[in-house]
């Protein structure tokens, strides 16, 4: 008789955003007269930029003509896109990353969750706490996280690195030595950043202890301050210890378009084996490339028109972030994030727990956010709002919260 992967049964409850979705749907059904404003999930609301729409139409036309039709894409991505990425995201910042170290995919979520496959079963992972749930859940499924400890809301074999107001959301090096360290900066959910010096410390630490850093830079387009690195490859020594994940979801509004990439430098090795070759083998065996028309849309992100239009789009969301940040502050909330990231991380008032505050906001202000405890035990007592709504809704949501 066939057996299932029992590790799946260790996952507590459902995926955070499914739970929120169900709660919100139930409230909306019971109160059809209320107009909900959703600042919960990090989904964008602005339409694709005109330069991207033009590129999509042009590529669709190519697919309709025998002379220009394209079948299977190269597993690792078309050269035109990999080259544009290498030039614009790396060489222009002085990072030594070449086009053939870039693996194009259908999004950072897939890559972040699949990357653990190329690592050994007995590696120990370290994560920030609170954290984007995918890093831990994908390792639970692989049997690398140990057992769920309900009273701690932690997995027995995961090293949690608390990030709270007390340490400005910058984790300390853990007491136990990890093999795989997940870092996400600008951070989801706290909106915190590392300075270049702080990230350099992590790179040095990883090289010293022989750990690999899995660096999620999905929100780099939101960085507004000078001393905040956009890529881990701005740090010296990162080529021997880091893998970086990037997304087109937040800088170009591709949440429903699906495009991302992962950088695996050729110098990253375990003994003689390069992780680049392992990831290439995974892509070749289990993936068939991102759609041609969508890779052309990705290319348009780097065109002069695309860049100009997307700069405006990011500015639009950051104006929302400013509205939320300043509005909540003036209403007496303790607030973080929102300066280099589209997320605002607030302390719940009067020590209310995160889910209680979720219900309170939903029921009294009809505003949907994300309870901090959904991201890990150190998120308890915090709450996330996103800047990805429309400006009008964002202003109204904050007005409603101010009136509570």
- Among positions 178-197, residues that touch a copy of itself (CB under 8 A) are 179-180
Taking the least distance from each CB to a copy of itself, the nearer of 271 and 304 is 271
d(CA 348, CA 356): 9
Minimum distance of a copy of itself from residue 57's CB (angstroms): 6
From candidates 12, 22, 26, 50, binder to a copy of itself by CB under 8 A: 50
From candidates 22, 25, 31, 69, binder to a copy of itself by CB under 8 A: 69
- Cβ atoms 217, 234 nearer than 8 A: no
Is 88 marked as a binding-site residue? no
Is 250 marked as a binding-site residue? no
Minimum distance of a copy of itself from residue 108's CB (angstroms): 9
**DSSP states of 344-382:** EEEEPGGG--HHHHHHHIIIII-EE-EEGGGG-GGGTTE
Is 284 marked as a binding-site residue? no
Is 8 marked as a binding-site residue? no
**Tokens in use for 215?**
């660096």
- 12 is a contact residue toward a copy of itself (CB under 8 A): no
Peptide bond connecting 189 to the previous residue in cis, omega within 30 degrees of 0: yes
Strand partners, 160: 127
Task: Name residues contacting a copy of itself, limited to 253-312 (CB under 8 A).
Answer: 253, 255-258, 270, 273, 275, 278, 281-282, 284-294
Taking the least distance from each CB to a copy of itself, the nearer of 315 and 404 is 315
For a copy of itself, which stretch binds (CB under 8 A), given 36-44, 154-162, 167-175, 196-204?
Answer: 36-44
Is 320 marked as a binding-site residue? no
For a copy of itself, which stretch binds (CB under 8 A), given 39-47, 300-308, 310-318, 374-382?
Answer: 39-47
List the one residue out of 183, 241, 240 whose CA is nearest residue 212. Answer: 241
- 122 is a contact residue toward a copy of itself (CB under 8 A): yes
For a copy of itself, which stretch binds (CB under 8 A), given 58-66, 150-158, 161-169, 195-203?
Answer: 58-66
- 24 is a contact residue toward a copy of itself (CB under 8 A): no
Strand partners, 317: none
d(CA 184, CA 142): 21
Task: Name residues contacting a copy of itself, limited to 362-381 (CB under 8 A).
Answer: none
Task: Name residues contacting a copy of itself, limited to 207-246 (CB under 8 A).
Answer: 209-212
For a copy of itself, which stretch binds (CB under 8 A), given 40-48, 90-98, 155-163, 367-375?
Answer: 40-48
Task: Name residues contacting a copy of itself, limited to 127-186 (CB under 8 A).
Answer: 133-134, 137-138, 141, 179-180
List the one residue out of 313, 305, 329, 338 whose CA is nearest residue 391. Answer: 313
SS3 180: strand
Minimum distance of a copy of itself from residue 187's CB (angstroms): 20
d(CA 353, CA 383): 9
SS3 295: helix
270: left (phi over 0), alpha (psi -120 to 50) or beta: beta
Is 175 marked as a binding-site residue? no
- 26 is a contact residue toward a copy of itself (CB under 8 A): no
The 3-state secondary structure of 68-95 reads: CCCCCCCCCCCHHHHHHHHHHHHHHHCC
**Tokens in use for 383?**
């709450």
Is 388 marked as a binding-site residue? no
d(CA 244, CA 180): 13
- 123 is a contact residue toward a copy of itself (CB under 8 A): yes
Please report, in range form, the residues annotated as the binding site.
Answer: 15, 42, 72, 108-109, 132, 188, 219, 247-249, 258, 288, 384
């Amino acid at each position: 008789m066939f057996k299932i992967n029992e590790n799946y049964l260790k996952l507590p409850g459902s995926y955070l955003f499914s739970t929120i979705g169900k709660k919100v749907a139930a409230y909306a059904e019971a109160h059809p007269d209320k107009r909900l404003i959703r600042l919960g999930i990090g989904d964008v609301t602005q339409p694709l930029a005109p330069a991207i729409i033009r590129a999509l139409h042009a590529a669709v036309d190519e697919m309709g003509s025998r002379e220009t039709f394209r079948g299977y894409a190269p597993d690792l991505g078309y050269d035109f896109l990999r080259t544009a990425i290498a030039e614009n995201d790396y060489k222009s910042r002085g990072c030594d990353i070449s086009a053939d170290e870039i693996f194009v995919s259908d999004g950072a979520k897939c890559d972040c969750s699949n990357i653990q496959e190329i690592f050994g079963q007995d590696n120990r992972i370290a994560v920030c706490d609170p954290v984007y749930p995918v890093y831990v859940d994908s390792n639970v499924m692989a049997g690398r996280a140990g057992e769920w400890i309900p009273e701690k809301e932690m997995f027995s074999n995961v090293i949690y690195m608390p990030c709270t107001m007390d340490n400005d959301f910058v984790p300390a090096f853990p007491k136990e030595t990890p093999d795989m360290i997940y870092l996400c900066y600008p951070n989801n959910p706290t909106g915190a950043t590392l300075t270049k010096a702080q990230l350099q410390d992590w790179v040095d630490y990883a090289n010293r202890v022989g750990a690999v850093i899995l660096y999620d830079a999905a929100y780099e387009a939101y960085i507004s301050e000078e001393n905040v690195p956009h890529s881990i490859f701005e740090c010296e020594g990162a080529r021997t210890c880091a893998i970086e994940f990037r997304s087109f979801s937040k800088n170009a509004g591709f949440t429903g378009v699906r495009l991302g990439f992962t950088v695996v430098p050729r110098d990253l090795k375990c003994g003689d084996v390069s992780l680049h070759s392992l990831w290439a083998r995974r892509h070749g065996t289990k993936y068939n490339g991102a759609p041609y028309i969508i890779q052309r849309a990705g290319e348009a992100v780097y065109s002069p028109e695309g860049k100009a239009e997307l700069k405006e789009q990011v500015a639009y969301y950051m104006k929302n972030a400013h509205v939320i940040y300043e509005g909540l502050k003036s209403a007496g909330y303790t607030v973080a994030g929102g300066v280099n990231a589209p997320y605002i991380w607030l302390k719940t008032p009067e020590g209310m727990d995160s889910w209680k505050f979720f219900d309170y906001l939903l029921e009294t202000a009809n505003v949907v956010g994300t309870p901090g405890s959904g991201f890990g035990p150190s998120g308890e007592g915090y709450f996330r709002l996103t800047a990805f709504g429309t400006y009008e809704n964002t202003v109204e949501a904050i007005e409603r919260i101010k009136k509570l």
